[in-house]
């Protein structure tokens, strides 16, 4: 005996839900990777700019800012690594 949902076979409904979920996860993952890549590039650019400024003006607040940005970059890189790990396990 087949189970039906609103006149459709349950297997068909489950398959459609599964495909829809998979597509949504793919879209979310691409968005998340894009956001993390954007953050990484932004932080790298700022760090390079501060390092150039430090060559001319070795100010304490620039050194502190550089350290803070490097810390933020480490967090972003950890997030990126975690996403890659999760993605590799999903495949």
pLDDT above 80 for 74: yes
Enter the DSSP assignment of 58: -
Query: Which residue, 9, 3, 2, is CA-closest to 17?
Result: 9
| Whole-number pLDDT of residue 7 | 61
pTM of the model: 0.65
pLDDT above 90 for 19: no
Give the model's confidence band at 20: pLDDT under 50 very low, under 70 low, under 90 confident, else very high.
confident
Average pLDDT, stretch 4-30?
Answer: 75
CB 50 within 8 A of CB 69: yes
CB 50 within 8 A of CB 66: yes
Mean per-residue pLDDT of the chain: 86
Give the model's confidence band at 23: pLDDT under 50 very low, under 70 low, under 90 confident, else very high.
confident
């Amino acid at each position: 005996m087949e189970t039906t949902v609103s006149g459709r076979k349950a297997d068909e409904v489950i398959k459609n839900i599964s495909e829809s979920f998979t597509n949504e996860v793919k879209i979310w993952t691409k968005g998340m990777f894009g956001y993390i890549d954007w953050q990484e590039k932004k932080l790298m650019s700022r760090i390079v700019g501060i390092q150039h400024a430090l060559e001319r003006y070795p100010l304490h607040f620039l050194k502190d800012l550089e350290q803070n940005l490097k810390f933020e970059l480490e967090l972003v890189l950890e997030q990126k690594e975690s996403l890659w790990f999760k993605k590799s396990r999903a495949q």
